[in-house]
Amino acid sequence: MKTPSGQRNGGPVTLQEVAAMAGVSASTVSRILNGTAVVSDAKKQAVEEAIAHLGFVPNPVARGLAGGRTLSIGVITQAIDSPFYGLAMRGIEETLASAGYSALFVSGHWDAEAEARCVDVLRSRRVDGIIILTGRLSDTALRNYARELPVVVTGRKLEAPGLYSLNFDNVEGGRLATDHLLQLGHRRIACIAGGDDHPDAVNRHRGYRAALEAAGVAYDPKMVVPGRYFEQSGMEALDRLFQLRRRFTAIFAANDQMAFGAMLGLHRRSLRVPQDVSLVGFDDLPAAAYSLPPMSTVRQPVHEIGRLSAQAMLDLLAGKAPTAVMPEPELIARDSTQPPAAEPPAR
Partner DNA sequence: CTGAAAGCGCTTACAG
Looking at beta carbons only, is 199 or 293 nearer to its own copies? 293
- Shortest spacing between CB 29 and DNA, in angstroms: 7
What, of its own copies, DNA, none, does residue 15 touch, CB below 5 to 8 Å by kind? DNA
Contact 332, 298 (CB under 8 A): yes
Which of 36, 37, 40, 57 contacts its own copies by CB under 8 A? Answer: 57
Among 5, 16, 102, 323, binds DNA (CB under 7 A): 16
216 conformational bin, left if phi > 0, alpha if psi -120 to 50, beta if neither: left
Closest-CA residue to 151 (of 212, 160, 9, 111): 160
Closest CA to 145 of 160, 156, 125, 134: 160
Q: How many residues at the interface with DNA, by CB under 7 A?
A: 33
Contact 310, 290 (CB under 8 A): no
Q: Which is nearer to DNA, 26 or 341 (CB)?
A: 26
Taking alpha carbons only, the member of 254, 345, 243 closest to residue 300 is 254
Task: Out of 120, 196, 197, 239, point to the residue binding its own copies (CB under 8 A).
Answer: 120
CA separation for the pair 241, 256 (Å, rounded) = 18
Q: Which of 290, 319, 321, 343 binds its own copies (CB under 8 A)?
A: 290
Confirm or reject binding of residue 287 to its own copies (CB under 8 A). Answer: yes
Decide: is 15 part of the binding site for DNA (CB under 7 A). Answer: yes
The CA–CA distances, whole Å, from 207 to 97, 179, 213, 252 equal 37, 9, 10, 11
- Looking at residue 204, its amino acid is R
What gap in Å lies between CA 237 and CA 347, rounded to an integer? 15
Q: What, of DNA, its own copies, none, does residue 40 touch, CB below 5 to 8 Å by kind?
A: DNA
Q: Kindly indicate which of the ranges 35-43, 46-54, 198-206, 262-270 contains the residues binding its own copies, using the contact rule CB under 8 A.
A: 262-270
Residues facing residue 224 across a β-bridge: 191
User: What's the alpha-carbon Rg for the chain, to the nearest Å?
Assistant: 26
- Asked whether position 100 contacts DNA by CB under 7 A, the answer is no
Residue in 8, 45, 66, 97 binding DNA, rule: CB under 7 A: 66
Q: Does 231 bind its own copies (CB under 8 A)?
A: yes
Longest CA pairwise span in the chain (Å): 87
Q: How far is the CB of 239 from DNA (least distance, A)?
A: 53
Question: In the stretch 32-61, what mask flags binding to DNA with x, by CB under 7 A?
Answer: -xx-xxxxx-xx------------x-xx--
**Three-class secondary structure of residue 255 per DSSP:** coil
131, interface contact from DNA, its own copies, none, CB < 5-8 Å by kind: none
State the DSSP code for 34. H
Q: What does the alpha-carbon distance between residue 204 and residue 186 come to, in Å, rounded to a whole number?
A: 18
Q: At 30, which amino acid appears?
A: S
- Residue 69: contacted member of DNA, its own copies, none (CB under 5 to 8 Å, by partner type): DNA
Length of the chain: 347
Q: Does 334 bind its own copies (CB under 8 A)?
A: no
161 prior amide bond cis, ω within 30: no
- Residue 240 binding result from its own copies, DNA, none, given CB thresholds of 5 to 8 Å by partner type: none
Q: Which among DNA, its own copies, none contacts residue 294 (Cβ within 5 to 8 A by kind)? A: its own copies
- The reply to whether 52 sits near its own copies by the rule CB under 8 A is no
Alpha-carbon span 160 to 72, nearest angstrom: 22
Which residues form the interface with DNA (CB under 7 A)?
11-16, 24-31, 33-34, 36-40, 42-43, 56, 58-59, 62-63, 65-69
Binding site for its own copies (CB under 8 A): 3, 5, 12, 57-62, 64-65, 70, 72, 79-83, 86-87, 89-90, 93, 102-107, 120-121, 123-126, 148, 231, 260-261, 263-264, 267, 286-287, 289-294
